[in-house]
Structure 1
Amino acid sequence: MRGALISAAAGTALLLFPALAVADDGGDLSAKELAQQAKDNFLKAKSVHLGYTDHSKNAAADRTKAVAMDLSLDRDGNCAGSLTMGKGGGSVELVKRGREVWMKPDAAFWKAQVPGPQGAAVAELFKDRYVHGTTADAMLKGMADTCDLAAFQKQVDSGVADDKTLTKGEETTRDGTKVIPLKGREDGKDSVLYVTSGSPHRLAEAAQKGAGTDVDLKFGDYDKPVPSKTPPADQTVEVDRLNQQLGS
């Protein structure tokens, strides 16, 4: 579970930092200035809502790979949202507050992650319930690592600049927000960053396509608190019971 989910998280940052690192210097408000301000505001964000989708055929066919995330997360490691796996891999709801973690996989997720008849048994045993524990549990920690906004920001900030030059496009509207597209191309891949037209300039969307890659990301709710509601006790099962079931 951990590898699939963390690879999706890392992919978002890897898409961002090469494009934000280098941009052209032309114009009154240049692509470089827009990109740098968007990067700076992302690095300063205390929280953000992230939507990630991998549309590539290879990812969609892999039921062990996370192909979509819809997650609110903050720098304290709190989060709430869901992750979706490739075809047949199901999905999992995720909540983290401090060290406490709740995850609610659907039946398809259990069957894809737990091999053989045991997967069906686990799916039935924990049907429609959250598994609850802390980050001291290796499996829950692997899930919870996806919630770390600070880790995203560190990857973006530590990106090595390349020779890519971004070109500033005309103002447009995406999801009701006025944005300016910054376009670039490298290694057979086209990338575009959509930075909000108004100040503060923030990254609203990013996409990359070509050479087996087809991913997009959406960003919103900068600095808005992560939903703090946690699942009620009557809808949860402690992680020790899951570990016992898997061990048996």
Structure 2
Amino acid sequence: MTGQRMATRAAACATAVVLAVTGGTAAQAVDDIESLPAEQIADRSRDALLDVRSLHLRARGDLGENRSPMTVDLRLDRSGNCAGDVDLGKDKGSVEIVKRGDAVWLKPDSAFWENQVPVGGSAFESVLAGRYMKGSASDSRLRPVVEACDLDTFLELVSDNADNSDTAAGTFTKGRATSVDGVRTVPVTRTLDGQKLTAYVDTGGTHYPVRITVKGDGADAAVDFSGFDKPVPTATPSADETVDVSAVLGRAPAQS
């Protein structure tokens, strides 16, 4: 099913924004983060992000390169649990996602079936009748969703980028403190491939990046982070709300 890759694509968009502003060297311990150089502030935010056990990630907008604007809204943790949805934008459809342990539930809407699965989509929608598809995390057809739901995968990309940072990617600059959703932040910015990327770093407590934006060269997107170390909701769809994924796709599960 073509749309199975949408969660990975959306998460990759969010990751791409984060990677561009979280490289650098280890920061020195200074209490007043606003007095630090911009690169050290970026380092602090990266290190804080790498320590989280769970978070709420919301990415929205257009990263350019002929990508359609979309929104991904996921709560996820290092155990691979997640809950949220992906909206492909422009009435192209959306999908609710729940993953708990080894079980995965997906609930595409009507627009998704119409636009993402033009051949056979209406038949799939009829079988589901408003219910969730349920499958195993080991089902290779669901692997893109499973990978998008794993916070460890996301953080490994951030860590790998820090270990292989491109010193030619441009220096960081620091802006004036500003408020983001009621949180006092200090923005740090760098320019990469014609795009301006800014991380808004919490100035109090743990210095998490609470928002990262990318603008320029056709891109206009933002990634918000919140709910640090708060558990992913444990509620899962009931049995009468689900249909086995093989009944929808019409073949036996493919094992990894």
Q: 2:171 aligns with which of 165, 173, 189?
A: 165
Corresponding residue for residue 92 of structure 1: 95
1:162-200 CA-to-partner distances (Å, cap 9, x unmatched) read 232111111110111111111222322111100001021
Q: Is the 8 A contact 2:44 2:207 kept in 1?
A: yes
Distance (Å, rounded) in 1 between the aligned partners of 2:138 and 2:96: 19
Distance (Å, rounded) in 2 between the aligned partners of 1:2 and 1:243: 12
Q: How many residues align?
A: 240
Distance (Å, rounded) in 1 between the aligned partners of 2:128 and 2:212: 37
Listed as ranges, the matches of 1:219-238 within 5 Å are 219-238=225-244
Normalising by structure 2, we get a TM-score of 0.86
Q: Is the 8 A contact 2:210 2:225 kept in 1?
A: yes
Further displaced range: 132-141 or 177-186: 132-141
**Distance of aligned partners of 1:155 and 1:56 in 2 relative to their CA distance in 1, 3 Å threshold:** closer
Corresponding residue for residue 196 of structure 1: 202
Distance (Å, rounded) in 2 between the aligned partners of 1:243 and 1:70: 26
Distance (Å, rounded) in 2 between the aligned partners of 1:76 and 1:184: 33
What secondary structure is seen at the aligned counterpart in 2 of 1:60? Answer: coil
CA-atom RMSD, angstroms? Answer: 2.3
What secondary structure is seen at the aligned counterpart in 2 of 1:132? Answer: strand
Distance (Å, rounded) in 1 between the aligned partners of 2:195 and 2:173: 15
- The answer to whether structure 1 residue 59 and structure 2 residue 63 are counterparts is no
- The answer to whether structure 1 residue 182 and structure 2 residue 185 are counterparts is no
1:46-84 CA-to-partner distances (Å, cap 9, x unmatched) read 0010001123674337xxxxx210100001100000001
What secondary structure is seen at the aligned counterpart in 2 of 1:95? Answer: strand
Ranges in structure 2 where 5+ consecutive residues have no aligned partner: 29-33
Listed as ranges, the matches of 1:211-226 within 5 Å are 211-226=217-232
Corresponding residue for residue 120 of structure 1: 122
Distance (Å, rounded) in 2 between the aligned partners of 1:133 and 1:197: 42
Distance (Å, rounded) in 2 between the aligned partners of 1:3 and 1:34: 34
What secondary structure is seen at the aligned counterpart in 2 of 1:15? Answer: helix
Percent identity of equivalent pairs = 36
Normalising by structure 1, we get a TM-score of 0.89
Q: Is the 8 A contact 1:50 1:72 kept in 2?
A: yes
Corresponding residue for residue 137 of structure 1: 139
